[in-house]
């Protein structure tokens, strides 16, 4: 499968501080990927490296096989930066002119039609628009390049729930027929769960979890049973315990299984097995920086259970 975005040992240092370190990931084309992690985990740094705003301090990054910023792929990558910066005192129409003048391929009509469809006043200066409308303008500007890879850095962070929903609808609608690969960073796990089919979880500058959402959800289970004081990793079929909690009589384990389709009755009758949501999985991994799951043989870290 072609990689829309591929990083190997990618790192970026600011002075002595590594904002991103030893990041290896492979984002297959056509995926809609969530980029998740606590503040300072390196999400913006990774996106800036992928779009060519930053150069790597170590390792390599490529989009569609070329270095980001290379004229060959510049037009293939769209970017919506954090806080959706736009020139104040420009109207959406003028921003469309900007897009036309600065890009080889730019669908001006598409941008303006899209905004008209959303009832955004395209002739008013951008600051006169609501936050949600400004974000829509920034998105429409990025989509009008008809990018093959679209990177968005917390585009909905400052929006109210309705504007957030409209933004994500516009995003999904905008790429539905194009097969555009998306990497979208956000803290809003519920939103991500609704639209994303791939997860990149960064923690402290490293990739902690990487994989398709369906696979991840299928691999993880919540086990509830009587108080379990032995090593939870010894339970049959459990590859790793991501999170465990105990009360006086009960133990709850969020585990990664060896087999994504365990047989009914697994692991044994004393455990009640339930499915977990993507949000549960993300929260469990965020709570424990030591746990990790990466696909592919070269990156398979077999990290044991948690403390």
Rounded to the nearest whole angstrom, what is the least distance from the CB of residue 121 to another protein in the complex? 19
Q: Which residue has the tokens 């975005």?
A: 5
Least Å from the CB of residue 27 to another protein: 18
Among 287, 285, 260, 303, smallest CA distance to 34 is for 285
The smaller minimum CB distance to another protein, of residues 14 and 287, is found at: 14
**Conformation bin of residue 218: beta by default, left when phi > 0, alpha when psi is -120 to 50:** alpha
State residue 107 phi and psi, 5-degree precision.
Answer: -95, 85
Half-sphere exposure of 39 (CA within 13 A, CB side): 2
CB of 185 to another protein, least distance (A): 14
**Smaller CB distance to another protein: residue 72 or 194?**
72
Residues at the site binding another protein, with contacts judged by CB under 8 A = 48, 51-55, 69, 71, 74-75, 77-79, 81-83, 85-88, 90, 94, 97-99, 101-105, 138, 141, 145
Report the DSSP beta bridge partners of residue 238.
Answer: 257
Q: How far is the CB of 297 from another protein (least distance, A)?
A: 33
Query: Which residue, 143 or 209, has its beta carbon nearer to another protein?
Result: 143
- Residue number, 18 or 228, with CB nearest to another protein: 18
DSSP per-residue letters across 159-214:
S-HHHHHHHHHHHHHHHTTTT-EEEEE-S-HHHHHHH-SEEEEEETTEEEEEEEHH
Contact (Cβ atoms closer than 8 angstroms) between residue 184 and residue 46: no
Which residues are 143's β-sheet partners? none
Least distance CB 217 / another protein (angstroms):
33
Q: Between 74 and 165, whose beta carbon lies closer to another protein? A: 74
Of the pair 104, 302, the CB lying nearest another protein is at: 104
Residue appearing with tokens 């469309």:
96
Q: How far is the CB of 155 from another protein (least distance, A)?
A: 12
Give the nearest distance from C-beta 168 to another protein in angstroms. 21
Choice between 16 and 101, CB closer to another protein: 101
Beta strand 220-226 pairing with 250-257: antiparallel
Q: How far apart are CA 111 and CA 155, in angstroms?
A: 17
Nearest to 44 by CA among 174, 173, 164, 205: 205
């Amino acid at each position: 499968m072609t990689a829309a975005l591929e990083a190997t040992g990618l790192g970026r240092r600011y002075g002595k501080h590594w904002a991103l370190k030893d990041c290896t990931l492979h984002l297959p084309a056509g995926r809609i990927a969530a980029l998740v992690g606590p503040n300072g985990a390196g999400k913006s740094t990774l996106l800036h490296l992928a779009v060519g705003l930053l150069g790597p301090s170590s390792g390599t990054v490529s989009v569609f096989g070329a270095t980001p910023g290379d004229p060959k792929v510049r037009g293939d990558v769209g970017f919506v930066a954090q806080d959706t910066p736009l020139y104040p005192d420009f109207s959406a129409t003028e921003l469309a002119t900007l897009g036309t003048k600065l890009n080889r391929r730019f669908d001006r009509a598409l941008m303006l039609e899209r905004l008209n469809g959303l009832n955004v006043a395209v002739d008013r200066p951008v600051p006169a628009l609501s936050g949600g409308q400004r974000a829509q303008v920034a998105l429409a500007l990025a989509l009008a390049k008809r990018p093959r890879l679209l990177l968005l850095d917390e585009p909905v962070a400052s929006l109210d729930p309705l504007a957030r929903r409209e933004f994500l609808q516009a995003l999904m609608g905008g790429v539905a027929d194009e097969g555009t690969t998306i990497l979208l960073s956000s803290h809003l796990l519920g939103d991500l769960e609704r639209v994303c089919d791939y997860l990149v979880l960064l923690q402290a500058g490293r990739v902690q979890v990487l994989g398709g959402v369906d696979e991840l959800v299928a691999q993880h289970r919540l086990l509830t049973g009587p108080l379990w004081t032995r090593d939870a990793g010894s339970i049959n079929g459990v590859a790793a315990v991501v999170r465990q909690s105990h009360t006086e009589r009960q133990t709850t384990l969020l585990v990664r299984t060896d087999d994504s389709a365990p047989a009914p009755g697994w692991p044994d009758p004393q455990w009640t097995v339930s499915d977990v949501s993507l949000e549960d999985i993300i929260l469990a991994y965020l709570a424990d920086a030591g746990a990790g799951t990466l696909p592919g043989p070269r990156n398979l870290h077999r990290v044991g259970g948690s403390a």
